[in-house]
Amino acid sequence: MAAFGDNKLRAVVDIAAAGDVVLVVGPENIRMRIHSLTLKATSNAFSVILGLNWKGGRDLLEDGSVELLLPKENAKAMEYICAIIHHQNIFDGLMALADAAYASQNAQAFRDLTKALILNYEGSYFSLSTERNESAMNWKEQRDLARFDLGDILIGRISRGECVSTDADGQANTHNYAYLESLRDHRLWPTGLINISEAIERAGSIPDPIPDERSTSCTYEYKHTTPKYRKGRQ
């Protein structure tokens, strides 16, 4: 793969060699191969485009791969963003693009670039800040809010009682315990979330847990249902 700082873009950029989506970007028709799961996890727009209600999603399901045309997008900016969401650490270059977007008052590009930094950058933002952008972005606050929101998605339904069922004797549903253990096993415990996009990708793939042992029989067992944790995370 060519270095991201090259002045001349390659005709094909394999950001993910085994990816199932090829973005055809800009007037140059630069092709970038990436993973659909990663793209959907970090972009609401692409989550819709690659869903079953859209042709792109149906083609992906039927053929195993799909090309998406993005003729109006900036190829270099898109290359940086795709590299970031695939955990290729080139944040200095992405910060330079965010700087340029801020200076040119390109709100859409600035939003997309800084979102990628908030969701994927794990280190201190002080090393990335510049005189131009430091007064415009509250990096740490935005990242903390994103981690809090993700943590609420992962365990909030339990803490609010939406997934908890108890029998007449107060025996807690063992599914909830198994689910919490599964979060720990998959490095998804809310206090340990570091790279947000990576955590979203893992959360989308883990199955609902199967308790090691059945809970005590209950007079009202016929009223109990198995919580659908994965559905709640969608």
pLDDT in tens, 9-59: 456 788 888 899 999 998 888 999 999 988 888 888 888 899 888 888 898
Q: Which of 186, 185, 100, 193 is CA-nearest to residue 151?
A: 193
The domains of the chain are located at 12-137, 153-233
7 backbone dihedrals φ, ψ, rounded to 5°: -70, -30
Quickly tell me which residue has 């094909």 as its tokens: 12
Q: What are the tens digits of pLDDT across the range 159-176?
A: 665 555 544 434 456 777
Burial class (CB in 10 A: 0-12, 13-18, 19+), 74: middle
The domain 12-137 is classified under which CATH number: 3.30.200, 3.30.710, 1.10.287, 3.40.50? 3.30.710
Q: Which residue has the higher pLDDT, 155 or 100?
A: 155
Beta bridge partners of 166: 172
Which pLDDT score, from 0 to 100, does residue 21 have? 94
Looking at per-residue confidence, does 80 or 92 come out higher? Answer: 80
Q: Angle at which helices 75-85 and 107-120 pack, to 10 degrees? A: 20
